[in-house]
Structure 1
């Protein structure tokens, strides 16, 4: 299905002010998202924050339903969080480990997730092991299958790494974990909003994702999926009146849904904005978004690879919106600054974000340009021309 590109660009206030290729860091929000956030803040200003929140509660539950629909879940399996890392960390903290337990992770794991698992392992005596990759650089399901034994307590995967366009075989990894009865945590931070997601087909027990990237939602928002059948295996690290409502008799009772991970005090305006972003993406159609982004990313990789002195670093077979590259003789941070002076946003990714993969590949900092379905071919040309000029200096 073709996208109404003119309408989508017209609904993006920043589209003519900056050439934005940092959608993997944070995207330009569309007008309906801005409207939802601003309208609720205005209601808070005249009615009171608590009263405005009570009035907006049905809209928040509609947003929960939209989030569930986006990933093939049901509403009770969705908690809203402050970020992907926030939700992922809450879920991990709900697991218990003991000495000798094994945690198996992908080489491309997000640094924040690794740090959280390392802390859990240090406290319990568990060990973390890295699943080998196949020749194209993806986490290997076959290698994972050979590593499974009765001491494995978790398989964790970042579906689309932050340092390039590689797409890991999440569903295949999920099948191995499910067959072994091992919990499977999936970080979908770079996947949500650009790839179709069906948690049933993926076989994940937990999925975490932010709102600010390809969904084009507000910063400071995220969603956490916890499979209903897995819920009682997780004990959240803390409780409040929302996660464990007080009963007249018997004291607090832990929520029997993902709400046990959702704190009682939260930024209602931002969550309503996230709901608007999800509705917006679903209205366009994730399959249509995926098809357009794939074509644009391929076109950008081809343009950059044709520039003398430029190396494209993307691995994998099927690839995502993220395009990673380096320019010989130009530091990535310096290139980012040069492009910013021309009104072009890219980002720099380094070892601190995806430490295991960058170290394994002998890479330091790299440049990252992430496309959106909003881009035009002329905008890809403009970025390529700016990189060409930088490479010639």
Structure 2
């Protein structure tokens, strides 16, 4: 426990454990959307399930008491009565309804702080343009906050409203809201406080602020669901204001041309709302009140102050917070780098921050001459290790290249030449791409000039993911592949693969979570959709003992399965695991996207270059190729079926087998497309495992067996034979009656199988500078970006103890492994 946590009494470890997303990345973006707790998530899901069973109206009635409590909790948090609170969809919705209710007239003056949020400012500018409202932006004093003297002077002229953001989106400024409120109250002018970035992390009391209106959101420091917001109106002001668009929720129709507004702030609500989200907000409010806002504020402020101080000591980084900064937000820039680039690089390293452009705060950033800033924001589920991780990554990006270490004699090792052999002259890294300028980034361990940081061998899904992840972290990466681009001799070609949460052992669950998150990151970086969730079924005979399981997965019988995916027909003697998160990966698009992302990040790739071996050289490695030698600080081997050629210890453990897939047409294609069919597998007694992926894009349903004969790596995979085709058709049509059309396409590929269908990810025991991702065993594609990120972490010195169960030592004979016994190999579902 940190000193700050100890002083505030917060159990940060418990808070992190109760926050599912806290273990997936360093989430430093609470000012954007904080990570909700598991209790919030469960509340939302529980009510949605209740709606599915009872209906929306009936579920709302059943939860009426809990819904009413949300108003009480919100009022308690901000020092108001429950009747003064309206629940809305966002802070912006709250702002619009409150401003509209004031019924402003041409010539009315609004005094707005420079801290105003973009959506608020845009609304004010539109009111000026269309209604003749006078908008005056208040100047700031030397602290960065509203100049109180100038405000007092401005209030000597009649005004309709003063508005201020307690904490702006563009910095860590804390406005002197209580003093502003006192001046406004003395002048008889209502104050509108935007507490979007403060409620949940700072004490907020509408009475002390003298606020007539306060707006806030649930998704930021309150840790509530997105799509929730708060609106407070002072009772006295509420009597003078009227909603511009009354709704049945807040008004009663009493006659042909008459209606009455209901008492309280709920007159600003609408009938249609997400009760599940509002109940989730109630859970978040209760959690904040239980922890205590003062304790939250002290912890968050202390952690942010530690980050701010560390950033000021980091080369190339400038903190741009104003003097009146505090709370959980810190803003900074890196010299010579666009904030969006900084954020993209940090995101690839597992650090989630955002860039705030001046277009989100022209009255702040624009006037300070800042085109954009990087914003970090911490919460109670963050700790010192995450602050240290950000500081270390920024220091790594800024550190100068270390001098080249003196060469050391070669130590005989896997793929090495005899010790007495002459040392070949290294081929300069830049020679692989002579038209490219050298990349000015630091080496990871020693090394300078033309020495690469990392050489990645292999350009399949794991190789491309690893190369991109490393380059995005600032490493100089050279990627080599023995075959031409676009070849079909490995395991990563073809249009589609499946992704699923259903696995036989809980030991895989964390990696599966990482996989889903990593694919989302690739999609965001590439700007295209790569994963489509449709739900899947994984069937077996009811008497079989082997089964899959996983988060949110349920066991169903044949009748239930038919209701879920009617395109798959199972016998009454079968059961299935339904995985609602199962989906389809657009594998071809994913491979292209990773290539493009890697190239944009600086990966230097050379296809048709065979690596013949490698030799440890000090703390680095010399890589031998058919074009000469290369030097690097790290070597990452993602060579698929050819891994054993470079890691002889794996030779007796890895087996390349031939796998075939066929696409089958249908007279009723809708039955073989989502939602009638999703990814599936069936354990067929006497045959083996049949797996399939539904029709996707122009391709009809695809099926295959997960087993096959040992393949000859010296030759290209031969075409699918008539016997292979007929065997697949016979079994597929047994379970997919709608697959009554011709075979439209065929493909042969290779699985690289390891004992127990596992794979090896990590450093070789004897050579920590050499890492490997090997033996996909038919189920590795779905983990591609997650394994790439993991290898990048390991290569840059970030330990990942939760991946110890995949340590290469577990499949190297004679090497002790403390985790091998914990693993249980999954049934393979590759395509």
Judge same fold: TM > 0.5, yes or no: yes
Q: 2:187 matched to which residue of 1? A: 180
TM-score scaled by length of structure 2: 0.47
Q: 2:243 matched to which residue of 1? A: 236
Q: 1:261 matched to which residue of 2? A: 268
1:82-106 alpha-carbon deviations (Å, 9 max, x no partner): 1111101110011122232211010
Matched, 1:126 2:136: no
Residue 248 (structure 1) shift: 6.7
Matched, 1:279 2:292: no
Paired with 2:239 and 2:381, the residues of 1 have a C-alpha distance of: 42
Paired with 1:252 and 1:314, the residues of 2 have a C-alpha distance of: 50
Q: 2:676 matched to which residue of 1? A: none
Matched, 1:40 2:52: no
8 A Cα contact 1:94 1:237, kept in partner: yes
Name the structure with the higher strand share: 2
The answer to which of 353-362 and 268-277 deviates more is 353-362
1:390 counterpart (390, 393, 397):
397
Alignment of 1:1-393 (within 5 A): 1-247=8-254, 251-392=258-399, 393=441
1:312-346 alpha-carbon deviations (Å, 9 max, x no partner): 00013351211000001222111111111111100
Paired residues, what number? Answer: 393
SS in 2 for 1:349: strand
Paired with 1:107 and 1:250, the residues of 2 have a C-alpha distance of: 43
Paired with 1:119 and 1:358, the residues of 2 have a C-alpha distance of: 21
8 A Cα contact 2:171 2:325, kept in partner: no
8 A Cα contact 1:324 1:368, kept in partner: yes
Residue 380 (structure 1) shift: 0.6
Paired with 1:48 and 1:265, the residues of 2 have a C-alpha distance of: 14
Paired with 2:241 and 2:395, the residues of 1 have a C-alpha distance of: 51
8 A Cα contact 1:167 1:316, kept in partner: no
TM-score scaled by length of structure 1: 0.97
8 A Cα contact 1:23 1:214, kept in partner: yes
8 A Cα contact 1:153 1:183, kept in partner: yes
Q: 2:438 matched to which residue of 1? A: none
8 A Cα contact 1:97 1:121, kept in partner: no
Paired with 2:34 and 2:266, the residues of 1 have a C-alpha distance of: 27
Q: 2:801 matched to which residue of 1? A: none
Residue 218 (structure 1) shift: 0.2
Residue 232 (structure 1) shift: 1.9
What stretches of structure 1 move > 4 A for 4+ residues in a row? none
Pair member with larger Rg = 2
Residue 235 (structure 1) shift: 1.6
User: How well do the aligned residues superpose, as a CA RMSD in angstroms?
Assistant: 1.3
Paired with 1:389 and 1:331, the residues of 2 have a C-alpha distance of: 17
1:199-247 alpha-carbon deviations (Å, 9 max, x no partner): 0000010000000001100001010011111102222121121121223
Segments of structure 1 that go 5 or more residues without pairing to the other structure are none
1:120-146 alpha-carbon deviations (Å, 9 max, x no partner): 222332211111111111112221001
Paired with 2:258 and 2:111, the residues of 1 have a C-alpha distance of: 38
Paired with 1:390 and 1:263, the residues of 2 have a C-alpha distance of: 50
Paired with 2:256 and 2:63, the residues of 1 have a C-alpha distance of: 30
8 A Cα contact 2:247 2:269, kept in partner: no
SS in 1 for 2:20: coil
The answer to which of 112-121 and 241-250 deviates more is 241-250
Paired with 1:254 and 1:219, the residues of 2 have a C-alpha distance of: 28
Distance change in 2, residues 1:100/1:151 (3 Å): farther
Residue 15 (structure 1) shift: 1.1
Distance change in 2, residues 1:54/1:248 (3 Å): farther
1:31-75 alpha-carbon deviations (Å, 9 max, x no partner): 110111000000001111111011112111101100000000000
